[in-house]
Structures are given as C-alpha cells and as structure tokens.
Amino acid sequence: MKKIDILKKLRSSRLRPTKQRVEIAKFLFEREKTFHFTVESLNKLLIKKLASKIALATIYNTVHAFKTAGHLSEVEVRGNKTYFDTNVSNHHHFYDSENAELIDIDANDIVIQKIPKAPNGKKIKNVEVFINLKN
C-alpha cells in the first residue's frame, strides 16, 4: 500500500492524516500478509522502527479509530489483552497458545453444514470459528 493510498484511506474515514496516524498506518497496512497484534506488541515494534516515539495513548486512540473506520478488526482471544487484525474480511483463526500467536483461516476453508437458529427474536450477526492448537 502506497503512501498516497494511506492518505486516501485516512481521509476517506474522516481521520486527519497526522504524522502519527500515517506512521502507524504505514506500519500496519504496508504489508503483504495480514498482521495480528496487541497494543503492547504494536508499541514495542513502533519503538524499534521509528526514531521518535508515539505516546501509548495515541496508539490506543489510533487503533480504535482504525477499528471504528473498519480498517482493523478485533479478535476474541481468551485472556487479558485485546488482539487486532489487519484482515477485516470475514475469516477465522487458529490460535497457538504456546506462542500466543493467531493465524488466519480463509472463510472458504471452513464450511459449516449445520447451524442452530438464533434464539428469541435475535438474528445471527456473524459466526467465528476459533481453532485452538496444541503440539
């Protein structure tokens, strides 16, 4: 993803392309593969990568702004920290608890044959499959 596209992405979601947002966006979206992270891990990686450091609060703000804008998705993982994913399409996850690592599974690689109907006036919003791994 080019810098110009980063700027477009930010502007299209009514987020001013500040220095910090552009740097974080470049770090997150200029990748081939999807990227999974927690705010803590992202912060550490940004400290390594960037000359000037970005305030932790800004990283929280920015990640949430990106999530709200639909540029990041939040992944439910048992435990204390919140995981985010640059893959915002409908997909699933392997979770390797030994390395606290998420691995994407394409939506087409899982086919569900039978599913219960939603209870009392509710509808199904989405179905997430989470496959825990062991050695």
On the 0-12 / 13-18 / 19+ scale of CB atoms within 10 A, 87 is middle
Question: Which x/- pattern over 73-92 shows residues binding its own copies (rule: CB under 8 A)?
Answer: -xxxxx---x----------
Q: What is the CA radius of gyration of the chain?
A: 17
Stretch that binds its own copies, among 5-13, 36-44, 59-67, 116-124 (CB under 8 A): 116-124
Stretch that binds its own copies, among 7-15, 32-40, 53-61, 125-133 (CB under 8 A): 125-133
**Residue 18 or 132 with smaller CB distance to its own copies:** 132
Alpha carbons 121 and 29: distance in angstroms, whole number: 39
Q: Tell me: does residue 39 bind its own copies (CB under 8 A).
A: no
Alpha carbons 45 and 55: distance in angstroms, whole number: 13
* Crossing angle of helices 19-29 and 56-68, rounded to 10°: 60
Q: Tell me: does residue 111 bind its own copies (CB under 8 A).
A: yes
Q: Tell me: does residue 69 bind DNA (CB under 7 A).
A: no
Q: Tell me: does residue 70 bind its own copies (CB under 8 A).
A: no
Stretch that binds DNA, among 19-27, 90-98, 99-107, 111-119 (CB under 7 A): 19-27
The option from DNA, its own copies, none interacting with 58 (CB < 5 to 8 A, set by class) reads: DNA
Categorise residue 14: left if φ over 0, alpha if ψ from -120 to 50, beta otherwise: left
Q: Tell me: does residue 40 bind its own copies (CB under 8 A).
A: no
β-pairing, 36-38 with 101-106? Answer: unpaired
